């Protein structure tokens, strides 16, 4: 089974440093971080690939 957590658990907005929280979630043992898809439209292709990794 895989476990994930909402990005908004740590913030009251759906914006923020996704890279910081992705690392935090991974370090805590979670498998996934749910984020707002709308913010992905504002990210560069390089940042999207980095976030995906």
pLDDT (tens, 9 = 90+) of the chain, 53 residues, equals: 999 999 888 888 777 788 899 999 999 999 999 988 888 898 899 999 998 87
**Per-residue confidence (pLDDT) for residue 8, from 0 to 100:** 85
**What's the pLDDT score for residue 44?**
93
At 29 the pLDDT is 96
Query: DSSP assignment of the chain, as one string?
Result: ---EEEGGGS-SSS-S-HHHHHHHHHHTT-SEEE--HHHHTTS-HHHHHHHH-
What pLDDT does 39 receive? 83
Contact 5, 33 (CB under 8 A): yes
Domains in the chain: boundaries = 4-52
50: Cβ contacts below 8 Å, ≥ 6 apart = 19
pLDDT at 36: 83
């Amino acid at each position: 089974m895989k476990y994930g957590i909402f990005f908004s658990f740590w913030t009251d907005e759906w914006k923020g440093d996704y890279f910081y929280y992705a690392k935090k979630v991974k370090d805590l043992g979670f498998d996934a971080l749910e984020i707002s898809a709308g913010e992905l439209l504002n990210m560069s292709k390089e940042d999207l690939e980095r976030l995906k990794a």
